[in-house]
Amino acid sequence: MAEDRRTRRTRRSLRDALVSLVLERGFAALTVDDITERADVARATFYSHCRDKDDLFTRVTADLLQELAGRLEGVTDETAVGFTGKPLLELFRHAEAERDLYRVILRGEGDGRPLSTFTDESVTRVAAVFRERAVTTGAEPRIDPELLARAWVGEQFAVLRWWLEQEPRPMPAEELADNLRMLAVHGRYWASGLNGAP
C-alpha cells in the first residue's frame, strides 16, 4: 500500500514537472534530466516508470483520458432525454481542474501525438453516442456519425483551447457548455441571429 502511494506520488511529480516545463520551454527543448530535476526524482526512478519523455507524455495523456472517461461515465447516456449538455459541462469542469495539462495537449506539444490520441479517443466515444442515439430514437443520420463526431469534437477542442488560454476565463464553464449546447441543438444559422431556413 505504501509502495502504491509512493508510485502515485512519483507519477504525479513527473506529470507536474513535464507540464510545467512544457509551458515554460516547449516539449521539444526538454530533456529527461530537466524533468527529473524538476520532479526531484532520480533518473533510475524515471526509467522505472517510462522509456523516455515521449513515453511519459503518452502515459500522462492516457491517465487524463481515463480520468475524463470516469467523470463522463454517469452523464453520457442522453438518448432518452435528448441533448442536455451535461457531458460538455463535465469536460469543461475537468479541463478547468487540469488546465495546464489540457493546454499543453491542445497546443499540439509533442509533435501533436497526445492531441491526436485525445482527439481520436474522444471521437470514438462521441460517435458511439451518436449511433446509439440514432438506434434508440429511430432517426436516420443525415451525416455519417464518424464525420459528425469529428466536427463536434474539433469544435469543442477549438473552443476549449481558446477558453483555457484566457486569464481570467471569459465565462464560467456552465455558460460555455450551454452556449455550445444551444449551437448543437439549433445550428450556426440560428446562432448567428438569422431566422428561417438557410
Residue type, 103: R
Q: How many domains does the chain have?
A: 2
Q: Directed axis angle between helix 99-106 and helix 145-165, to 10°?
A: 120
Q: DSSP string covering 133-158, please?
A: HHHHHT---SS-HHHHHHHHHHHHHH
Each as own residue / partner, the long-range contacts of residues 68-72 (CB below 8 Å, 24 or more positions apart, any chain) are 68/94, 69/125, 72/125
CATH assignment at residue 158:
1.10.357.10
Same domain, 40 and 135: no
- DSSP symbol at 98: T
Is 70 among the domain residues? Answer: yes
Q: Which residue do the cell numbers 463536434 mark?
A: 152
Q: What percent of the chain has pLDDT over 90?
A: 83
**pLDDT value of position 82:** 65
**pLDDT value of position 84:** 84
Q: Copy the grid coordinates of residue 104.
A: 499543453
pLDDT tens, 117-146? 999 999 999 999 899 889 988 999 999 999
Is 197 among the domain residues? Answer: no
Same domain, 45 and 65: no
Distance, in Å, from the CA atom of 57 to the CA atom of 27, rounded to the nearest integer, reads 9
Mean pLDDT of all residues in the chain?
93
What is the mean predicted confidence (pLDDT) over 47-65? Answer: 97
Same domain, 86 and 182: yes
Same domain, 62 and 153: yes
Same domain, 68 and 151: yes
Same domain, 104 and 140: yes
pLDDT tens, 61-118? 999 999 999 999 877 555 545 678 899 999 999 999 999 999 999 999 999 999 999 9
Tell me which H or E stretch contains 81.
none
Same domain, 5 and 59: no
**pLDDT value of position 76:** 59
Is 72 among the domain residues? Answer: yes
The alpha carbon of residue 180 and the mean position of all alpha carbons in its chain are separated, in whole angstroms, by 16
Query: 134 exposed, middle or buried (CB, 10 Å; 0-12, 13-18, 19+)?
Result: middle
Distance, in Å, from the CA atom of 66 to the CA atom of 188, rounded to the nearest integer, reads 32
Same domain, 95 and 160: yes
Same domain, 21 and 107: no
- Whether 35 and 117 have beta carbons less than 8 Å apart is answered as no
CATH assignment at residue 23:
1.10.10.60
Same domain, 81 and 177: yes
pLDDT band at 1; cut points 50, 70, 90: low
Same domain, 41 and 69: no
**pLDDT value of position 146:** 96
Query: 21 exposed, middle or buried (CB, 10 Å; 0-12, 13-18, 19+)?
Result: buried
Is 82 among the domain residues? Answer: yes
More confident residue, 3 or 187: 187
Is 140 among the domain residues? Answer: yes
Domain of 161, in residue numbers: 52-191
